[in-house]
Amino acid sequence: MPEIRLEDVVKTFEGGVVAVNHLDLNVKDGEYMCLLGPTGAGKTTVLKMICGLVCPDSGKVLLDGKNISNIPISRRGTALMSQNYALFPKMTVYENVMFSPSIKNWDPADAKTLVRSMIEMVHMGPKVDNMPHEMSGGQMQRTALARALASNSRVLLLDEPLRALDARLRLEIRKEIKSMVKDMDLTSVHVTHDQEEAMEIADRIAVIRKGRIIQVGTPMDIFCNPKTPFVANFVGRSNVFTGKLVSSSEESSEILLDSGHKVLARSTDLSPGTDVAVAVKIGYVISKIHKEGESLPEWYMEGTVSRVLYEGGTITIELDVKGLGIVTCRRSSKRYDDYKKGKKVSVIWVPSKAVVFSIPECGLEEELRLD
């Protein structure tokens, strides 16, 4: 199984658009890596450089330690499933998926078994004799996915492979695709802007923004220990506040928010007096309905229910905290009737769940932008 490395890779397109900006990335042997980022972050360009459709302006693309930056596509041993599917228009589903095994002169029986299993895996059995013009976008996408899996390539590159599928099928196939890739001993890079998809399917996630890798880690590490406010807000929605660090100990740090509220967060190495941002996931915010005579925590903020969004198993509650603005939390939908608009609640979180960052040089608003 191959290892993929990109070293200080740069790619600029016409008009001076920098798609990839001194990017470094290491994908381990047999790893399922998700490249996660907003639209325009450079994800697809990275895939195209790995497979050979795009050559870097500078830097190296290495496969098993060998520089393949200028090696033709046909000699790289990679398979790319692109966003436009690129199916052969005059071939059926079966013929499209069979294309790679047939040109590689596989044993006919083995090829037929593999192709049938790939087609069934993506739920295209009933459409096996259909031509591309007879299929929906989601069906074409599934066919392209099966064709990529049947290529017998060492490296599988997937560009938004589940984008056109309906929600239920997307959930089902993303569970199966990783198992299939692991069973086939492939190294895979899967591009997506869907953080839930990346969290479920990836061995590791590489968060990319503006052509640079911001953070690489396991899904749990990316979610629980973000390195920047952007990662904190992009991978799992966060409330982000600004203030000044008052003090920090091994247990927690104290921050005086710009609103005048004092809050606690996890400890930090930053110096007291530093301007900071505090990020806490909406699922970690604790909101309690005020009850007569009930004692309140040592520190808390008082809020009023502004809006409740029903989401099936959960509800998202927007709380208006005087001087601070909207603080968002998430609770079980069983509590829906408790959170009527105008209800008074206390707002708090476990300090270790709130991460402290220095304010980025570009400013917090620019840091949190998704484009």
pLDDT at position 1, please? 55
Contact predicate 263/321, CB 8 Å: no
Our count of domains for the chain comes to: 2
Token reading at 40? 């325009």
Q: Report the candidate in 19, 91, 80, 26 with the shortest Cα–Cα distance to residue 52.
A: 80
Q: Can you give the residue range of the structural domain that contains 302?
A: 231-368
212 with 236, same domain: the answer is no
Token reading at 230? 């952007």
Q: In a 3-state reduction of DSSP, which class is residue 8?
A: strand
239 with 348, same domain: the answer is yes
Mean pLDDT on 210-230:
96
pLDDT at position 332, please? 94
Mean pLDDT on 277-281:
97
Mean pLDDT lowest for which of 37-46, 58-67, 96-105, 318-327? 96-105
17 with 141, same domain: the answer is yes
Check which CATH number belongs to the domain holding 38 and give it.
3.40.50.300
pLDDT tens readout for residues 111-168? 899 899 889 988 899 999 999 999 988 888 889 888 888 887 889 999 988 887 788 8
Check which CATH number belongs to the domain holding 330 and give it.
2.40.50.100
Q: Which band of pLDDT confidence, cut at 50, 70 and 90, is reported for residue 293?
A: low
Cβ-proximal residues to 63 (8 Å cutoff; 6+ apart), any chain: 2, 3, 4, 76, 77, 155
219 with 277, same domain: the answer is no
317 with 211, same domain: the answer is no
- Give one DSSP letter per residue of 292-330, joined into a string: TT----SS-EEEEEEEEEE-SSEEEEEEEETTTEEEEEE
Cβ-proximal residues to 334 (8 Å cutoff; 6+ apart), any chain: none
- Looking at 175, 209, 224, the residue that finishes a domain is 224
85 with 212, same domain: the answer is yes
- Looking at 224, 249, 269, the residue that finishes a domain is 224
Dist CA 299 CA 262 (whole Å): 8
Dist CA 84 CA 86 (whole Å): 6
118 with 170, same domain: the answer is yes
- Looking at 189, 208, 224, the residue that finishes a domain is 224
16 with 46, same domain: the answer is yes
Token reading at 371? 């484009």
pLDDT at position 30, please? 93
265 with 139, same domain: the answer is no
252 with 153, same domain: the answer is no
Contact predicate 1/30, CB 8 Å: yes
Predicted TM-score (pTM) of the model is 0.89
Residue 243 has pLDDT above 70, yes or no: yes
Q: Which band of pLDDT confidence, cut at 50, 70 and 90, is reported for residue 320?
A: very high
Q: Report the candidate in 249, 279, 285 with the shortest Cα–Cα distance to residue 267.
A: 249
Q: Which residue has the higher pLDDT, 92 or 174?
A: 92
Residue 60 has pLDDT above 70, yes or no: yes
199 with 256, same domain: the answer is no
Element of type H or E holding 81: strand 78-81
Residue 307 has pLDDT above 70, yes or no: yes
The identity of residue 76, as a single letter, is: R
71 with 188, same domain: the answer is yes
